[in-house]
Amino acid sequence: MHSRKNCQRRLWLLTGTGEGPSLAKAFIGKGWQVSVSVVSYEASLSYFGLGLESLWVGKLEGVEGISAVLKNADKASKGFDCIIDATHPFAGVISANLKIASSIHGLRLIRYERFCWKFV
């Protein structure tokens, strides 16, 4: 019997235009089905042609908005195996909301951390 657990893995990547396209491409290359969320139409242009499962544009309205995306994915019997938060380092609100929503839904949340150069 096929289930989400023995089929192709799925992840939800929340990101921008910096490392996002490279991350998406790398996961797709490893066999993951990747859905991406970006805030603006301009940011979405970097993802065309990558073979994404989904590309969503716009702000997520708090924990409720994130939960709605997760519930809709579950209803489609696809769901996500994990969420990757590669949002801007100063986007503290979305990161906090992702942490709460992922905990509520029992999903692994991975925070992508950028290397910080320290100049003296």
The CATH number of the domain covering residues in 4-111: 3.40.50.20
70-106 confidence digits (pLDDT tens): 999 888 767 999 999 998 766 778 899 999 999 999 9
* CA angle (52 as vertex; 49, 58 as ends), nearest 5: 100
Determine the Cα–Cα distance for residues 101 and 55; give it in Å rounded to an integer. Answer: 20
pTM of the predicted model as reported, rounded to 2 decimal places = 0.85
Domain ranges of the chain: 4-111
59-68 confidence digits (pLDDT tens): 998 999 999 9
The runs of H, that is alpha helices, within the chain are: 20-29, 41-44, 62-75, 92-105
